[in-house]
Amino acid sequence: MNTKKSIFLFLLGGLCFLSTTAWVSSPRNELAIGFVKPAPKAQRYLYVVTPGIRNYLGYGGHGIQVFDIDNNHKFVKFINTPGGMMNKGIPSNVKGVDVSLATNCIYISTLEAIQCINLVTEKTLWEKQYEGGVDRISISPDGKIIYAPSLEKEFWNVLDAKTGDSIKKIVTNSGAHNTIYGPDGNSVYLAGLKSNMLNVADTKTHTVTKQVGPFGADIRPFTINGSQTLVYVNVNGLLGFEVGDLVTGKFLHRVVVEGWNIGEVKRHNCPSHGIGLTPDEKELWLCDGANYRLHVFDNTVMPPVQKTTIPLKDMPGWITFSLDGKYAYPATGDVIDVKTRKIVASLEDQNHNDVQSEKMVEIHFSGGKPVAAGDQFGLGQVKRITRN
């Protein structure tokens, strides 16, 4: 081999080697070679807050149970939380949970208060009680504002998410209950269990500017699509759901579950308490409390059409999904493969006891910091752009 060819091959090999490294300037203005560290793979966890079914400690105790989504939803750790009922030391019912990546915090609402817990240190930053109690909260996409319903009373409290301080009160006289902050950050959807109208608040003025309905009865759990054009609601007395138009405010459809009878339910006094869209919005999943089932509907047509049913081990009172749409999470602790409809895991604590909760949220960590989060509601994730 001649000298020129040897030098060429040597340089070529060096360049190939350097392509996987980073150039770093040394103090002597020489080029040093340092290996580039690959970005840490995100760790996906399911945070399940308990007592998330009334105040029943038998379904996971009092705190946050954390499960590894990529390891067959195995138990990872338990995080202690505050929340003694009126300082009497009795764990209070958890009413809602939400996460803000902007503040690196998880927020938990109980009957009386809201807790703000840092996701990295797992330390409680603040816990505050509020006039009228607290129900299922929702946080703005930028992490600045919390909409906190009073406990089935006349109003919502608008709060500073950093401090928990009150900003404003919105009076609806609707039996404040469930809350969804729209993904565009401009609207908040306020459902009261003493009203058949869904109130829509403007987030700039924190005032109700629109109503949707009337629906067939008082509104219970509900969800919306990603483009914020449709709302799907559970209502009292219906094994099924209803659909409303968020743009026009009009009632659209009533869908009744076929082949199953309304029966007695253990909780909520509502045949269908729990409704969610798969992230791709192709399916709607509906809870059936009396028959211990999830009913699956084709949501690519309107009104949605019933497809199949999935039996569960206990009464479902809520339903949400993993961020990638692979798993469905009913409140029973069953983990369901959305594609196959099979139960692939069951949530258990460190002592192999059943964990059930209507308040859970998915959180991804990379390098020890939260980088993505799901939502307690089964919200649609499809954003549609209308072109003129």
Quote the pLDDT of residue 85: 61
What digits encode the pLDDT tens for the residues 278-308?
999 999 999 999 999 999 999 999 999 999 9
Asked whether the beta carbons of 103 and 142 are under 8 A apart, the reply is no
What digits encode the pLDDT tens for the residues 315-370?
999 999 999 999 999 999 999 999 999 999 999 999 999 999 999 999 999 999 99
Reduced 3-state DSSP string for 224-279: ECCCCCEEEEEECCCCEEEEEECCCCCEEEEEECCCCCCCCCCCCCCCCCCEEECC
pLDDT tier at 25 (50, 70, 90 boundaries)?
very low
Task: Please enumerate in sequence order all residues whose Cβ is within 8 A of that of 326, keeping only pairs 6 or more positions apart, or say none.
Answer: 337, 338, 339
Quote the DSSP letter at residue 354.
B
Block residue for tokens 């109503």: 211
Single-letter code of the amino acid located at 128? K
Q: Say how far apart CA 227 and CA 229 lie, in whole Å.
A: 6
Quote the pLDDT of residue 163: 96
* Secondary structure (3-state) at 20: coil
What digits encode the pLDDT tens for the residues 53-107?
999 999 999 999 999 999 999 999 999 998 766 557 788 999 999 999 999 999 9
pLDDT tier at 38 (50, 70, 90 boundaries)?
low
Q: Say how far apart CA 247 and CA 144 lie, in whole Å.
A: 26
Distances in whole angstroms, Cα of residue 278 to Cα of each of 19, 226, 238, 240, 300: 42, 11, 22, 17, 11
* pLDDT, greater one: 111 or 12: 111
Asked whether the beta carbons of 199 and 172 are under 8 A apart, the reply is yes
Structure tokens at 379: 């919200």
Quote the pLDDT of residue 41: 87
Q: Say how far apart CA 234 and CA 221 lie, in whole Å.
A: 5
pLDDT tier at 384 (50, 70, 90 boundaries)?
confident
Backbone torsions φ then ψ of 82, nearest 5 degrees: -75, -165
Q: Say how far apart CA 85 and CA 87 lie, in whole Å.
A: 5
DSSP-derived secondary structure for 140-165: -TTS-EEEEE-SSSSEEEEEETTT--
**Residue 11 pLDDT > 90:** no
Quote the pLDDT of residue 32: 42
Single-letter code of the amino acid located at 130? Y
Q: Say how far apart CA 240 and CA 253 lie, in whole Å.
A: 11
Task: Count CB-CB contacts under 10 A for residue 229.
Answer: 14
- In this prediction the pTM is 0.89
Quote the DSSP letter at residue 348.
B
**Residue 15 pLDDT > 50:** no
In angstroms and rounded to an integer, the radius of gyration of the C-alpha atoms of the chain is 24
DSSP-derived secondary structure for 186-230: SEEEEEETT-SSEEEEETTTTEEEEEE---SS-EEEEEE-TTS-E
